Amino acid sequence: MAMEATSPEPESEALVGSYGPEQSLLVASFLSLSGGFLDAYTWLSLGGVFASSQTGNVVFFGMYAASGQWHQAAHHALPILAFLAGALLATRLRAPLLCLAGEIVCLGVMMVMLVLHCVAEPVAIVGIAFGAALQSASFRHVERWKYLSVTVTGNMLRAIDQFAAMPRSEATRGGPAMLTLCLMFLLGAAAGGWVTMRFEAVSLVLPIASSTYVLGLCRRRCRRN
């Protein structure tokens, strides 16, 4: 009986380390930081749309459609459709690092074209939202907990679940991890707002750098393993 009572604990401890480099808290933190930054950038620079937080786009789409402002409604429909396309592709590929590289390429191309003023705003919205979806649909676990790098609400609820319903060993790891990701998203949004108002399209270099760091980190850890 004593052996039965103590057996779940080693099993739980074994699970703690049974995740790949792309599921580390460090990686999830950088991706959440990038998610908040991109939403702030597109909101300020591309006509009040969100690159990754599609809930906001759905709300505005519904409001404008209900009032017959179809041009504005279509403006918010573009990132929704682009995000769905990117998420579908990422789900089909099941290759997180390839999809992360795809996001870097999308953001890099859009940044250059925006700086040179040779791309229409709707095209930039589509490119950035598509790239954000490639990343967020590919990286959905931090250690063994599900999360989203492009929103806060779901991660807040998961933190509450961890603290309220899980065993103490789970809550002390999962709850703080979820709250950390919420904080990183907030910091990304704050940084995105501050930098975008000063450097406009050039500010996209920061989420590109963040994603590039994550890609390099994951590749190095994969080689070691």
Please give the pLDDT value at position 8.
Answer: 37
Domain that holds residue 86: 22-224
DSSP label at 202? G
What's residue 125's pLDDT? 96
Q: Look at residue 138 in the predicted model and tell me its pLDDT.
A: 95
* Alpha carbon distance 49, 180 (integer Å): 25
Predicted pLDDT of residue 171: 61
Angle among Cα 39, 41, 42 to the nearest 5 degrees reads 70
Report field, pTM of the whole predicted structure over 0.95: no
Give the domain CATH number at 81.
1.20.1250
Q: Which two tokens stand for residue 17?
A: 């380390």
In a domain, 152, yes or no: yes
Domain total of the chain: 1
- Closest Cα to residue 186, out of 65, 5, 59, 33? 33
Give mean pLDDT in consecutive 10-residue pieces for the chain, a chain of 225 residues.
38 50 93 97 96 94 96 95 97 96 98 96 96 96 91 90 71 85 97 96 97 94 72
* pLDDT given for residue 9 in this prediction: 38
Does 79 fall in a domain?
Answer: yes
